[in-house]
Amino acid sequence: MRLPGSRTRNSARVSVDQALRALFQHEAAAAVARLEADPDALADYQCEAREWSELDVQVRE
């Protein structure tokens, strides 16, 4: 007999892709929160991102 709202063993499983997606989303949200809380870290990140984008453009040319 199955109670309403109870899960079977198979329905409680999470795929590796789902678990990784949830972990990535959690880590990304935490990183954004850290950057929002620290203006110096945000400025450093933006500077590094600009440098990488310039390198990327140079490689494609």
Per-residue model confidence as pLDDT tens digits over 19-52: 999 999 999 999 999 999 999 999 999 999 998 8
8 CA to centre of own chain = 30
In a domain, 3, yes or no: no
**How far is the C-alpha of 3 from the C-alpha of 40, rounded, in Å?**
54
Q: Is residue 1 part of a domain?
A: no
Residue 2 domain flag: no
Backbone angles phi, psi at 54, to 5 degrees: -65, -40
Q: Is residue 51 part of a domain?
A: yes
pTM over 0.85, yes/no: no
Distance of alpha carbon 6 from alpha carbon 2, whole angstroms: 7
Print the domain residue range for 40: 11-60
| Planar angle of CA 46, 49, 50, nearest 5 degrees | 90
The answer as to whether 55 is a domain residue is yes
Is 17 inside any structural domain? yes
In this structure, is residue 52 part of a structural domain?
yes
Domain count, the chain: 1
Does 39 fall in a domain? Answer: yes
